[in-house]
A and B are shown apart, each in its own frame.
Chain A
Amino acid sequence: MLLGVTGIIQLGLGIAPLLRHHSSYRPPVAADLAYVTLAGVTALCALWVLRRKPLPRSMAAGGTLVVLAASSAATAALPPDAFFREPHWSFGLVGWHLLVLLADRPPALLTALAAHTAASVTQFLLGGAPTRTELGDAAIVLFGVTVFQLAIAGLIRLLDRRAGEAAAAAAERERLAIRAALAAQAGRDLRTGFAEQLGATLPLLAGLADGTVDPRTPDARARCALAAAQLRRLFAENDDVPDPLVHEVTACLDVAGRRGIVVTLAVSGDVVDVPAPARRDLTAPVLTALAAARTRARVSVLRTPELVRVAVVADGSAEVTGSAAVPVTSHSRDGQTWMEARWRPE
């Protein structure tokens, strides 16, 4: 907006006196040059302002110097007795240029405006002893123009601050909305995740509740054992321990141990970092085989940096289909079932 004002003032209000009093400038070419220079600065500023980008520091500083120089030149070329009157088109106009150049830098703007006014006044006083009327006229023009421009500068500052506050408030609102959405999503994921990980527990409980599952049958007891072990492993999943895989495997063993199954666990190799989904898949055969075991079982964990192998041998038949990341192999002989899940670190 300031740019438009400057342009319009320069074209609309500046050119008329320049042309009208053209021959009286000493020399006229100095006034022309000053006019063209000021127009050039406005055009240059337009490059940034129209793209809604702040003026770079070098442009603001350079532009200010050029504008002040042009102002001095134009003022110096004034005919006598023309200070702060119609032929002195540059005085008011330069203030607008400074506003455009330094709108974002209030201290610099005030300094530049003061310098501009001081320079003009000095040149005015040096031009010869002014009469009282001249002094009075000059003071009115000086006051009117400067106060108006200062008021505009203040207004810009105010608008800027309000716009900044509004933008910050909008950003904060958006941030809160995103957080709320994320929290809601996490809650949904947690619920579906639990439902998945609870595995056989929910349908089993429902079946026991409505009587379609008879707890006296061995099948129902086996399903209960599996569900108990799944829950026990699920609780262990979020424990903060140095070796989560062995911790979860041990959790699987617990329930079987309480059922009177003799389980041995053997672990070899150094701890390998296994992500939770892979741990879930690796322990799945252990859960299933132990739930189906009748008297004894052996669980082993063998880790190398290239491969993690969790195996179970138990007297009972069980079957687990692995996943793409964790394939499961199984083999049965004489009532013994061997199952092995493998996972390769990335």
Chain B
Amino acid sequence: MATRVTAVVVDDHPAVRAGVTYWLAGGDPPIDVVAEGEDVKAAWLGAGADADVVIFDLHLGGPAPAFGDLRRLAEAGRRVVVYSMRADDEVALQCLELGALCYLTKAEGAGHLVEATRAAAQDRPYTPPSLAGALAGDRSETRPALSAREAEVLVEWFQSESKEFVAHRLGISASTVNSHLERIRVKYARIGREAPTKAALVARAIQDGLIGIDDL
């Protein structure tokens, strides 16, 4: 049996840390929160330094997003799931650019958090509906070219929050919906600044057969 996934929770609200720990412990299989703290130090020191995934609150005690901390974590190869109060498209895109594996808003529930954490532990991206909306609305100069089907999957996943529903509507299987979402994230991982987490994400996509070496 594979070893259990471990996580460290960085959030300035104790109630949120407790809630996240509870949700992750309730996953199947459970995810162990090995450290937590109101400060990013928790992810660098002690047990937190070895955790598989960092659940990171972007607004630590201030209104400005902690992009610097996020960048340093990603540059060190730490797999980060950003967990934020705000549904802000630009901030979400910026986090992906810096190398976060997922951007999740606190309005999105336990299911998304558990899935995002498990995916991150395996260097896989997870795209929750709000992030899909941000990607679908992305009109920046540097955005990657998406196929019509990929764009439609993004939009309908954002609208319905149900992969089964998207699959039924587009006449494809739920796993195809997932591959489309992952392929979109691979495209995003290959633009902008380089980060070990992005490289690992692309490498994992090749291992999974999502993209070929020739596509690079």
- By a beta-carbon cutoff of 8 Å, the part of chain A in contact with chain B is 264, 266-270, 298, 300, 302-305, 309, 311, 313, 331, 333, 336, 338, 340
User: A302–B160 contact, CB under 8 A?
Assistant: no
Q: How many residues of B contact A (CB 8 A)?
A: 20
User: A338–B160 contact, CB under 8 A?
Assistant: yes
User: B87–A333 contact, CB under 8 A?
Assistant: no
Q: Please give me the 9 A-B residue pairs with the lowest Cβ-Cβ distance, nearest first.
A: A268-B133, A269-B137, A311-B159, A268-B137, A300-B159, A313-B160, A333-B168, A331-B169, A266-B133
Nearest Cβ in chain A — how far from B159, in angstroms?
4
Q: Can you name 4 extra interface pairs (CB under 8 A) apart from A268-B89, A311-B159, A333-B164?
A: A266-B158, A268-B158, A269-B139, A340-B159
User: B160–A298 contact, CB under 8 A?
Assistant: yes
User: B89–A338 contact, CB under 8 A?
Assistant: no
**Binding site secondary structure of chain B:** helix
B129, closest chain A residue (CB) = A266
Nearest Cβ in chain A — how far from B133, in angstroms?
3
User: A305–B139 contact, CB under 8 A?
Assistant: yes
Nearest Cβ in chain B — how far from A300, in angstroms?
5
Which residues of chain B have C-beta atoms less than 8 A from A268's C-beta? Answer: 89, 130, 133-134, 136-137, 158
> CA A300 – CA B137 in complex, angstroms?
12
> CA A5 – CA B159 in complex, angstroms?
87
> CA A77 – CA B129 in complex, angstroms?
106
Nearest Cβ in chain B — how far from A317, in angstroms?
15
> CA A340 – CA B165 in complex, angstroms?
14
Is B94 part of the binding interface, using a Cβ–Cβ cutoff of 8 Å?
A: no
User: A338–B137 contact, CB under 8 A?
Assistant: no
> CA A331 – CA B159 in complex, angstroms?
12
> CA A303 – CA B130 in complex, angstroms?
13
Which residues of chain A have C-beta atoms less than 8 A from B107's C-beta? Answer: 264
Is B194 part of the binding interface, using a Cβ–Cβ cutoff of 8 Å?
A: no
Which residues of chain A have C-beta atoms less than 8 A from B89's C-beta? Answer: 268-269
B109, closest chain A residue (CB) = A264
Nearest Cβ in chain B — how far from A327, in angstroms?
15
Which of A266, A331, A340 has the most chain B CB atoms inside 10 A of its CB? Answer: A266
Is B161 part of the binding interface, using a Cβ–Cβ cutoff of 8 Å?
A: yes
> CA A264 – CA B165 in complex, angstroms?
17
Which residues of chain B have C-beta atoms less than 8 A from A302's C-beta? Answer: 133, 136-137, 155, 158-159
User: B129–A304 contact, CB under 8 A?
Assistant: no
Is B122 part of the binding interface, using a Cβ–Cβ cutoff of 8 Å?
A: no
> CA A305 – CA B165 in complex, angstroms?
27
13 pairs from A and B in contact (CB 8 Å cutoff): A266-B87, A267-B87, A268-B136, A268-B158, A269-B136, A300-B159, A302-B133, A302-B136, A336-B165, A338-B159, A338-B160, A338-B165, A340-B159
Is B207 part of the binding interface, using a Cβ–Cβ cutoff of 8 Å?
A: no
Is B173 part of the binding interface, using a Cβ–Cβ cutoff of 8 Å?
A: no
> CA A309 – CA B136 in complex, angstroms?
11
User: A304–B158 contact, CB under 8 A?
Assistant: no
Is B176 part of the binding interface, using a Cβ–Cβ cutoff of 8 Å?
A: no
Is B175 part of the binding interface, using a Cβ–Cβ cutoff of 8 Å?
A: no
> CA A313 – CA B89 in complex, angstroms?
22
Nearest Cβ in chain B — how far from A86, in angstroms?
95
Which of B130, B159, B161 has the most chain A CB atoms inside 10 A of its CB? Answer: B159
B89, closest chain A residue (CB) = A268
Task: Mark out the residues of chain B between 81 and 122 whose CB falls within 8 Å of any chain A CB in the assembled complex.
Answer: 87, 89, 107
Nearest Cβ in chain A — how far from B151, in angstroms?
10
Nearest Cβ in chain B — how far from A84, in angstroms?
92
User: B161–A298 contact, CB under 8 A?
Assistant: yes
> CA A313 – CA B136 in complex, angstroms?
18
B87, closest chain A residue (CB) = A266
Which residues of chain B have C-beta atoms less than 8 A from A340's C-beta? Answer: 159
> Of A270, A300, A313, A331, which one neighbours B133 at CB under 8 angstroms?
A300
Which residues of chain B have C-beta atoms less than 8 A from A269's C-beta? Answer: 89, 133, 136-137, 139
Known: A266-B133, A268-B137, A302-B136. A309 touches B165 (CB 8 A): no
Which residues of chain A have C-beta atoms less than 8 A from B129's C-beta? Answer: 266
A306, closest chain B residue (CB) = B139
User: B130–A333 contact, CB under 8 A?
Assistant: no
Task: Mark out the residues of chain B between 132 and 181 whose CB falls within 8 Å of any chain A CB in the assembled complex.
Answer: 133-134, 136-137, 139, 155, 158-162, 164-165, 168-169
User: A313–B161 contact, CB under 8 A?
Assistant: yes
Which residues of chain B have C-beta atoms less than 8 A from A331's C-beta? Answer: 165, 168-169
> CA A266 – CA B161 in complex, angstroms?
11
User: B139–A309 contact, CB under 8 A?
Assistant: no
Which residues of chain B have C-beta atoms less than 8 A from A336's C-beta? Answer: 160, 162, 165
> CA A52 – CA B201 in complex, angstroms?
86
> CA A309 – CA B133 in complex, angstroms?
11
> CA A266 – CA B131 in complex, angstroms?
10
Which residues of chain A have C-beta atoms less than 8 A from B130's C-beta? Answer: 266, 268
Which residues of chain B have C-beta atoms less than 8 A from A311's C-beta? Answer: 159-160
> CA A223 – CA B160 in complex, angstroms?
25
> CA A298 – CA B130 in complex, angstroms?
12
Which residues of chain A have C-beta atoms less than 8 A from B139's C-beta? Answer: 269, 304-305
> Of B133, B134, B136, B169, which one neighbours A338 at CB under 8 angstroms?
B169
Which residues of chain B have C-beta atoms less than 8 A from A309's C-beta? Answer: 155, 159
